């Protein structure tokens, strides 16, 4: 990657060398650590997993778990809060900073890509790329197969339904879904009551019903 234009928040426009993709020092280091994490570490070896994640990521909170395989571009641009969980096949393209709050859950096959390419073919063929930061708040659940695009900010207490393509920012306290992803409704106390009553049979103190 050659020098380009950047701003204080980590946004940048740059030129990449396709022949060197994955080989520049910081990227090569990240790929090697991902290889160790994904293919040379037993799933039961939580201590080694935490050690590798600590070397790979820019920040790692307490009680974090990421199920292999995990792939990142650089790693040092990924900042994870406390009580983080990601299921298998998480991909983070972190040419710009990607920040997670605390108590974030990610389903399998989630892609978070802070980097993109011009629509114009001639510019794209010159290796020009752009990267915009992604910020995800706390108490967020992102369902399986979701894709988060460059520059998106997701508020706290947000649920994003399975398979959504998030190409614009979302406010606090909502359920969002679709391609492109849009707010469906607000989260309310009724969601808790409905779950406890409908799924667990505990809402009104009655015994749990059949699940």
Catalytic residue among 88, 117, 199, 203: 117
Instruction: Give CA–CA dist 97/133, Å, rounded.
Output: 5
Q: Is 51 helix (H, G, I), strand (E, B) or coil?
A: helix
CB 98 within 8 A of CB 133: yes
Q: Is 32 helix (H, G, I), strand (E, B) or coil?
A: helix
Instruction: Give CA–CA dist 210/131, Å, rounded.
Output: 48
Two tokens, residue 110: 């989630």
Q: Please give the span between the terminal C-alpha atoms of the chain, in angstroms, as a whole number.
A: 53
| Active-site annotation holds for 117 | yes
Active-site positions read 117
């Amino acid at each position: 990657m050659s020098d380009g234009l950047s701003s204080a928040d980590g946004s940048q426009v740059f030129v990449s060398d396709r022949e060197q993709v994955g080989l520049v020092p910081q990227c090569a280091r990240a790929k090697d650590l991902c290889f160790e994490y994904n293919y040379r570490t037993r799933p039961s070896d939580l201590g080694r997993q935490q050690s590798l994640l600590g070397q790979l990521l820019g920040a790692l909170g307490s009680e974090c778990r990421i199920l292999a395989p995990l792939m990142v571009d650089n790693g040092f641009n990924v900042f994870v809060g406390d009580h983080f969980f990601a299921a298998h096949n998480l991909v983070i393209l972190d040419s710009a900073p990607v920040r997670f709050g605390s108590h974030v859950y990610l389903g399998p096959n989630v892609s978070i890509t802070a980097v993109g390419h011009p629509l114009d073919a001639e510019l794209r063929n010159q290796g020009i790329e752009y990267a915009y930061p992604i910020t995800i708040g706390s108490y967020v659940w992102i369902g399986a197969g979701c894709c988060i695009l460059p520059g998106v900010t997701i508020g706290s207490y947000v649920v994003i339904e399975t398979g959504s393509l998030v190409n614009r920012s979302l406010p606090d306290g909502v359920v969002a879904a679709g391609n492109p992803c849009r707010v469906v409704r607000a989260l309310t106390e009724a969601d808790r009551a409905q779950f406890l009553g409908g799924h667990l049979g505990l809402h009104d103190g009655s015994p749990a019903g059949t699940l």
